[in-house]
C-alpha cells in the first residue's frame, strides 16, 4: 500500500530507529527481565536467585519447545549498543469467528514508556496476524490498569465487557466420567460437515471466517474439537447435542503450557452435557502435556447456566489478586489500520511466521 493512500498517525521520531528482533540467546536475559517487570506487578516474580535459571527455562520453552512465539522491540539509535524496549509473546488461537493470535505479554520497560515502542510492537503483531491471514488479535488486561486500557482503546481495540475468562489452576486426573446417554468424538477438518450442521442447528451464522476456524492449525495441528452426540439404548449415535473447541495456551509467568476452551455450545443450554464435554478435554491435556491450567471464555448470555458448571469443576474468574481481567481485541479494519501505522514499512522481515 502506498503512503499516499494512508493518513499516517504521528509517531515519535525515535520510531525510525525501532526494530523488531527475534528472541535469540544474546537477548535471553534482557527479554526475561522485561517479562519480570510485568510479573512483579502481579506478584508473580520469583526470588532473585532463581532468575537466571528461569530465564533459561523461558528461552527454551519459546525457542526450542515452540510453546509460544516472541520478539523484542529494540532501539538501534546507537547501532553498536542497541537497547531492548519491549518484549512480546503470543501464540495461535481461534474463536467462533476465525483464526487469530493471542497476545500473552506486551511489556515496555518503565524507563522507556511514552516513546512509541508499545505502538510499534502492536503494529508488528498486526502485520504478523495479517501475514498469517488471521482475523483478529486478542488479549486480556487488568481492569484497573487505566493507562493500558486507554492505550489499547487509542489503537482501536474493542473492549469485551460481555466476555469473561475462568481458570482451572489444577488439571484433574486423566480419568473421564462416561455418560451412558452421550457419545463423544474428537473431530477435525475432515469431519467439518458435522460441525457445520451443528452450527446451523444453533443458529450460528455460517461464513468464511468459520471455515477458516476449522482450517486453523493451532501449534501445527488441527484445533481440538469434541462433539457430543445422543446415544440410543442400542448404542446408535444420534443427533449432535453439543460441541466444544480448544487450543494450547502458555503462561510466561509460570513457564507452563495449558489449554484454552474458546467455544462451548450445547443444546437447550443443558448443564449436564456441558459438564461432560469439559471432562473430555482432560485426557487430551495429559496426552499433550498441557497441564499448567485450563481456561474457558464465557459470554454473559451463557453465565446463568454455565457459571455453576465451571464453578463445580474448580474454575475461578481469572484475576490477579483483586484485579479482574478484561478481554480486548483488534479485528478487521482496526487490525489493517494498525498494520499500516508506519506506512508501507515491513516490520516483520526478520521475524519467523
Instruction: Tell me which of 133 and 203 has the higher pLDDT.
Output: 133
Mean of all residue pLDDT scores within the chain: 83
Domains and CATH numbers, the chain: 3-164+329-339 (3.40.630.30), 167-319 (3.40.630.30)
State the Cα angle at 61 between 59 and 65, rounded to 5°. 125
Edge-to-edge strands of the sheet including 256-266?
A: 182-187, 224-231, 237-251, 256-266, 294-299, 163-168, 316-317
Average pLDDT of 1-18?
53
Banded pLDDT at 3 (limits 50, 70, 90): very low
CB count within 10 Å of CB 30 equals 18
* The pLDDT of residue 2: 33
Average pLDDT of 233-262?
83
- Positive or negative, the CA dihedral 28, 219, 199, 234 is negative
255-307 per-position pLDDT tens digit: 999 999 988 888 889 999 899 889 888 988 998 899 999 999 999 999 999 99
Q: Which residue in 153, 157, 129 sits closest to 347, CA to CA? A: 129
Instruction: Tell me which of 14 and 146 has the higher pLDDT.
Output: 146
Share of the chain above pLDDT 70, in %: 76
CB of 274 within 8 A of CB of 264?
yes
* The pLDDT of residue 321: 75
Cα(127)–Cα(293) distance, integer angstroms: 29
Of the ranges 87-101, 163-177, 191-205, which one carries the lowest mean pLDDT score? 191-205
Cα(237)–Cα(253) distance, integer angstroms: 43
* The pLDDT of residue 51: 79
Average pLDDT of 305-315?
96
Q: pTM of the prediction?
A: 0.86
What are the distances in angstroms from CA 305 to CA 169, 225, 270, 301, 309? Answer: 22, 22, 8, 9, 7
CB of 16 within 8 A of CB of 347?
no
- Is the pLDDT at 107 greater than 50? The verdict is yes
Cα(40)–Cα(87) distance, integer angstroms: 15
Place of cell 446463568: 304
Amino acid at each position: 500500500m502506498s503512503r499516499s493512500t494512508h493518513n499516517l498517525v504521528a509517531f515519535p521520531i525515535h520510531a525510525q530507529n525501532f526494530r523488531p528482533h527475534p528472541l535469540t540467546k544474546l537477548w535471553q536475559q534482557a527479554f526475561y527481565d522485561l517479562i519480570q517487570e510485568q510479573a512483579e506487578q502481579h506478584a508473580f516474580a520469583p526470588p532473585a536467585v532463581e532468575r537466571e535459571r528461569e530465564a533459561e527455562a523461558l528461552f527454551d520453552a519459546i525457542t526450542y519447545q515452540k510453546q509460544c512465539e516472541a520478539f523484542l522491540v529494540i532501539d538501534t539509535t546507537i547501532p553498536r549498543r542497541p537497547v531492548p524496549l519491549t518484549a512480546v509473546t503470543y501464540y495461535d488461537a481461534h474463536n467462533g469467528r476465525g483464526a487469530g493470535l493471542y497476545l500473552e505479554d506486551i511489556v515496555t520497560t518503565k524507563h522507556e514508556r511514552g516513546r512509541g515502542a508499545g505502538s510499534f510492537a502492536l503494529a508488528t503483531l498486526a502485520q504478523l496476524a495479517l501475514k498469517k491471514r488471521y482475523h483478529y488479535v486478542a488479549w486480556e488486561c487488568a481492569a484497573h490498569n487505566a493507562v493500558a486500557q486507554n492505550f489499547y482503546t487509542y489503537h482501536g481495540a474493542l473492549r469485551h465487557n460481555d466476555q469473561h475468562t475462568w481458570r482451572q489452576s489444577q488439571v484433574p486426573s486423566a480419568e473421564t466420567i462416561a455418560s451412558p446417554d452421550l457419545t463423544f468424538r474428537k473431530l477435525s477438518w475432515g469431519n467439518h460437515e458435522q460441525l457445520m450442521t451443528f452450527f446451523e442447528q444453533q443458529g450460528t451464522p455460517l461464513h468464511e471466517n468459520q471455515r477458516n476456524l476449522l482450517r486453523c492449525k493451532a501449534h501445527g495441528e488441527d484445533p481440538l474439537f469434541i462433539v457430543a452426540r445422543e446415544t440410543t439404548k442400542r448404542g446408535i449415535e444420534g443427533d449432535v447435542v453439543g460441541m466444544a473447541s480448544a487450543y494450547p495456551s502458555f503462561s510466561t509467568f509460570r513457564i507452563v503450557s495449558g489449554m484454552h476452551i474458546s467455544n462451548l455450545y450445547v443444546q437447550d443450554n443443558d448443564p449436564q452435557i456441558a459438564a461432560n464435554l469439559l471432562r473430555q478435554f482432560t485426557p487430551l491435556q495429559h496426552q499433550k502435556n498441557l497441564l499448567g491450567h485450563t481456561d474457558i471464555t464465557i459470554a454473559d448470555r451463557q453465565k446463568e447456566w454455565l457459571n455453576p458448571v465451571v464453578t463445580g469443576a474448580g474454575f475461578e474468574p481469572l484475576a490477579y489478586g483483586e484485579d479482574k481481567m478484561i478481554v480486548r481485541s483488534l479485528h478487521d479494519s482496526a487490525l489493517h489500520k494498525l498494520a499500516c501505522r508506519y506506512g508501507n514499512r515491513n516490520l516483520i522481515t526478520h521475524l519467523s511466521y
